[in-house]
Structure 1
Amino acid sequence: MGDLKKPAINEERKSNAGIPEAEFVDDVDSYMGKSDNGGNAERVLKKLDELHCKYKYMEFHLLAKKKRLLSQIPDLKRSLNMIEKLRNEKEEFETEFLLSDQVFAKAVVTPTNTVCLWLGANVMLEYSLDEAEKLLVKNIATATNSLEQVEHDIDFLRDQCTTTEVNMARVFNWDVKRRQAAKNLK
C-alpha cells in the first residue's frame, strides 16, 4: 500500500479546505481610509465580526469532523486486527462482539475465509480476508490523512480568528481615539 500519495500540506499556511486568509490590519488609518470602509468604524467592525463568526462556524464543523475521524480510525484498526485473528485461527473460538454502545454478546466463530464489512449508508458487503485487509488498510490511510488535513485546517482557522480579533480590537481602539480627539477639539 506504499503507492498511496499523501497530499502535501502547503508550508505557506494556506488552508486545504479553501478557507480565506484574514488580512492583518497593520496601518489602521490607511485601512479605514479605503473607499469601501469610508472611515465608518461601526461598518468595519460589523464586517470583521461577520468574518469572525464564519471562521468560528467553520471551526465547529472541522472539530466535529475531527471527532468523527478520531473514533473511526480505532474502529478500522480493530477490524483489521480481527481479520488477522481470523486468518490465524484454525479452530472455533469464543468471543464477544459489540451489539450497540456498551452492549456485548458472546459468539462462537468458526474458521472462515470471508468477512462482511459495513461500508456505510446501511450497506454491508462480503469480502475475502485479503480484500478486506486491503480495503481497511486503504481506509485507515485515507482517514489518517484526512485527520492531518483537518488538524492543519483547525490550526489555520484559529490563526485567522486571532488575526480577526486583533483587527477588531485595533479598529475599535482607533475609533475610540478618533472620538476622543474630536471631543477634545470642541
Structure 2
Amino acid sequence: MTEEVMKNSLGIPTADFVEDVEAFMQKPENNSANDVIKRLDELLMKYKFMEQSLLVKKSKLNTQVPDIQNNLEMLRFLNEQNEKKADFETSYQLDFHLYSRATVKPTKTVGLWLGANVMLEYPIEEAEDLLKRNLENAKKSLKQTEEDLDFLKDQLTTTEVNIARVYNWNVLKRRPNELSTGGDNVNEKGSVVAEA
C-alpha cells in the first residue's frame, strides 16, 4: 500500500501543482485564464465541502471514543460487583438534569444501545468484546479521518496556490497590452480604466 493511498482512503482527487503556468495554459482544454480559474475554484469548493464532512465525522468520533471507554469501565465494574455478589447504589439520569437513586443487584447481563432505538441484552463478557471491537474500529476510523484531513489540507493549499499563479500569469499577460493602450489608465487590478 503506498503512502498516498493510506493518507487518502476516500479517493479524494490529487491537486497537481502547476509549476510552469505558461505551458499549462497552452493545453487545449485551457481556453482562457478565467475558465481555468473557474474550474480551480469549483475544485476548491469541493475540497472545502469534503473538509467540512470530515470535520463533522472527526467530531462524532472524538465523542464516541470516550463514551465507549466509559462503557467498558462500567462493564468491568459490574463484573467485579458480580464476582463479589454485592449490591451497589448508583444514580441514573431520568431526564435532563433529573436523576434518581437505585440499588443494582449483581447481574450477568447488560443492555447495550445499538442505535436507531434498538437495545439488545448481552452477557457481560460478550458486551465487553463487542465494545472493545467498537473502540478499536472507532480509533482506526479517527486516525484515518485525521490522515484524510491532512491530505485534504494539502490539496486545498495546492489549489489556492494554483489559482493565484494562474491569476498572476493572466495579469502579467494582459499588462503589456494595457500599457500600450494608455498606461496611465490601469487600475490596481491591472484593468484598463476608460477616461470620462
- TM-score strictly above 0.5: yes
Residue 163 of structure 1 pairs with residue 155 of structure 2: no
Name the structure 2 match of 1:3. Answer: none
- Mapped partners of 1:156, 1:36: distance in 2: 27
Q: Deviations over 1:47-90 (max 9, x none)?
A: 00000000000000000000000001111111111100000012
Q: Deviations over 1:108-143 (max 9, x none)?
A: 211100000011111110000000000000000000
**CA displacement at 1:100 relative to structure 2:** 5.3
Secondary structure of the equivalent of 2:106? Answer: coil
**CA displacement at 1:107 relative to structure 2:** 2.2
Name the structure 2 match of 1:139. Answer: 134
**Uncovered stretches (5+) of structure 1, i.e. residues with no partner:** 1-7
- Mapped partners of 1:101, 1:67: distance in 2: 22
Q: How does the TM-score come out when normalised to structure 2?
A: 0.85
Instruction: Kindly provide the amino acid, as one letter, of the partner of residue 21 in structure 1.
Output: T
- Mapped partners of 1:87, 1:102: distance in 2: 28
Greater Cα offset, 62-71 or 87-96: 87-96
Name the structure 1 match of 2:187. Answer: none
Instruction: Kindly provide the amino acid, as one letter, of the partner of residue 127 in structure 2.
Output: A
Name the structure 2 match of 1:37. Answer: 30
- Mapped partners of 1:143, 1:95: distance in 2: 29
Match of 2:45 among 53, 59, 80: 53
Instruction: Kindly provide the amino acid, as one letter, of the partner of residue 53 in structure 2.
Output: H
Show the 5 A alignment for 1:1-186: 10-12=2-4, 14-38=7-31, 40-89=32-81, 90-99=85-94, 103-186=98-181
Greater Cα offset, 135-144 or 98-107: 98-107
- Mapped partners of 1:59, 1:163: distance in 2: 15
Instruction: Kindly provide the amino acid, as one letter, of the partner of residue 63 in structure 1.
Output: L
Instruction: Kindly provide the amino acid, as one letter, of the partner of residue 123 in structure 1.
Output: V
**Uncovered stretches (5+) of structure 2, i.e. residues with no partner:** 182-196
**CA displacement at 1:23 relative to structure 2:** 1.0
